[in-house]
Structure 1
Amino acid sequence: MSLRAWHRPWQRLAMALLVSVAAAFVAQGAGAENAQASRVEGAQASGAKETAPLAGLSGEGFEHYTLALTWHPGFCASRSRPPQECRDPALREGTDRGFVLHGLWPSLPERFVERGVDRRRWWRDGCFLETPRADGSFCRAHPPLNLPAELDRRLEAAMPGRASCLDRYQYAKHAACLALPEAAYFAASVAMVEAVNESAFGAFVTLNQGGEVARNALIDAFEAAFGEQSGRTLRLTCGGRGNRLLTEVRIGIAADRLADFPAADSLVRQARGRCATRVRIARFE
């Protein structure tokens, strides 16, 4: 056995301990009152799709989803022309406590394969292949969403990009042509954002904001939170000079195992990202 292989189990143990400490630290900072409030709000969510959001979203005709979660301070720092959600202090409030929602993206559907659409074209155009996107801002991509009040409030907190109509654009591009109902689609999306942020991985990223970590430390933290070898299901996205600024993480999830998320056997492999070996986790000043 090589020295590196011998050290690997100890590195995993050390990372598991580190992310556990991070989770405990962040949970303590949030306070018992917030935890109790979250439990009450969860109990008050209305309808079956709110109480079991992941089980309420079917995924027929495609293999997996990609859950795209933005690290908001990093995204904003990487933009030469920051959108409204980066400029308005009210829309930045609370985003330093975890990831925010970019989107939930179904993989290439079989019926599009039968029409000769390849993966690259699907990722570029999505449902706009059938219903072309109107010119102009994201707000022209789809009418305003009609969501239950509680879900609308949770989505507002989870997706500051709604200020730029990101929610309407994401639904129009990735869900509207696949018989995925608006409420079920966003209830599942919000539930998964919350699950990641409440995990030890989410705590590790939050605890390290304003600093720099090794890229492999992020992957190890993910594995410590979600299971052995789950790091291959995580794609890190970075921007800025030298691709050193964390802007987003993407997680692959089997469409027929969505209700089991974030169990390790619900996750699917993804291509590696292009982050540098050292990654900066920005924070809002």
Structure 2
Amino acid sequence: MGRAWRSVAASLVMLLSTAVLADAALERLHAESFDHYTLALTWHPGFCDTHRDPPRECREAARREGTQRGFVLHGLWPSLPERLAERGIDRQRWWQEGCFLERPRADGGFCRAHPPLGIDEALEQKLDDAMPGRASCLDRYQYAKHAACFELPEAAYFAAAVALLEAVNDSAFGAFVELHQGGEVNRNDLLAAFEAAFGEDTGRALRLECRGRGNRTLTEIRIGIDAQRLADFPAGDSLVRQGRGRCANRVHIATLD
């Protein structure tokens, strides 16, 4: 019994330390001369359904354990930094190349080209659930492309991203999307559900991404967040307007397994 209680206590300590890290990360994840972050969250079944050659996290059942709650983490992307804008780099090129503009990408796949993250076991477990794409080393690639050139600490960066994901999944908007899985909804109803959850006129901060025939299947959402206001998310005044996404008027929401 003593051993069992020690195991439980150790698990609780891990969970509490991760929660503290997430709070600290949201407060301290500094914004080095860029305006906002884009929180990119994947609707995993839609992502898998619209790929002719689905990646490992779609093929292996064990890799889908973290997808039952709704959205999963794609990335947390800083906007164009001032130092690159001053060199004539535009937004489109920044989104395409990111930190590889300053630190050229190594040859090879994500797993070969980028080293493992330096994060502790508790955050490893949370990130495993939050980001099925880790099966393909998506976490390493996301950090290398979007965070490494800002010297953002790996643990703080991913703890913040996971905390933001959980806030969306715990929201009325997350519940709305999950409720309508397996069917179709009007694109404007998704925006209205976002505004109902986060405040009037916040729908402009939400970008919907769809794929498949006629861009009808929801695959991802992207939310603009003021770089100085991460800790205030999802308060309405922490959100930043995004461009219009690529979804038809009627949007299919694929079913979670």
Taking structure 1 as the reference length, the TM-score comes to 0.83
Match of 1:156, as an amino acid?
A: D
| Correspondence list, 1:92-241, <5 A | 92-241=64-213
Deviation at 1:115, TM superposition (A): 1.5
Deviation at 1:92, TM superposition (A): 1.6
How many percent identity over aligned positions? 70
Deviation at 1:98, TM superposition (A): 1.0
Tell me how far apart the structure 2 counterparts of residues 64 and 205 of structure 1 sit (CA, whole Å). Answer: 25
Tell me how far apart the structure 2 counterparts of residues 221 and 68 of structure 1 sit (CA, whole Å). Answer: 18
> Are residue 242 (structure 1) and residue 236 (structure 2) matched?
no
Aligned to 2:7: none
Instruction: Choose from 60, 80, 86 the match for 1:88.
Output: 60
SS in 1 for 2:62: helix
Aligned to 1:44: 16
Aligned to 1:13: none
**RMSD over equivalenced CA pairs, Å:** 1.5
Taking structure 2 as the reference length, the TM-score comes to 0.92
Conserved 8 A contact 1:141-1:172: no
Conserved 8 A contact 2:207-2:245: yes
Conserved 8 A contact 1:104-1:189: yes
Tell me how far apart the structure 2 counterparts of residues 160 and 232 of structure 1 sit (CA, whole Å). Answer: 28
SS in 1 for 2:229: helix
| Correspondence list, 1:25-64, <5 A | 44-46=16-18, 49-64=21-36
Deviation at 1:60, TM superposition (A): 1.9
Structure 1 stretch displaced more, 46-55 or 162-171: 46-55
Runs of at least 5 residues in structure 1 that lack an aligned partner in the other structure: 1-39
Tell me how far apart the structure 1 counterparts of residues 239 and 225 of structure 2 sit (CA, whole Å). Answer: 4
> Are residue 275 (structure 1) and residue 247 (structure 2) matched?
yes
Tell me how far apart the structure 1 counterparts of residues 23 and 190 of structure 2 sit (CA, whole Å). Answer: 31
SS in 1 for 2:106: coil
Deviation at 1:53, TM superposition (A): 2.7
Tell me how far apart the structure 2 counterparts of residues 243 and 120 of structure 1 sit (CA, whole Å). Answer: 22
Q: Over residues 93-135 of structure 1, what are the superposed CA-to-partner deviations in whole Å (9 max), with x where a residue is unaligned?
A: 3413210000000000001111111111100000001111112
Tell me how far apart the structure 2 counterparts of residues 233 and 41 of structure 1 sit (CA, whole Å). Answer: 36
Deviation at 1:284, TM superposition (A): 4.5
Structure 1 stretch displaced more, 208-217 or 45-54: 45-54
Conserved 8 A contact 2:66-2:131: no
Match of 2:114, as an amino acid?
A: H
Tell me how far apart the structure 1 counterparts of residues 13 and 72 of structure 2 sit (CA, whole Å). Answer: 19
Aligned length: 246
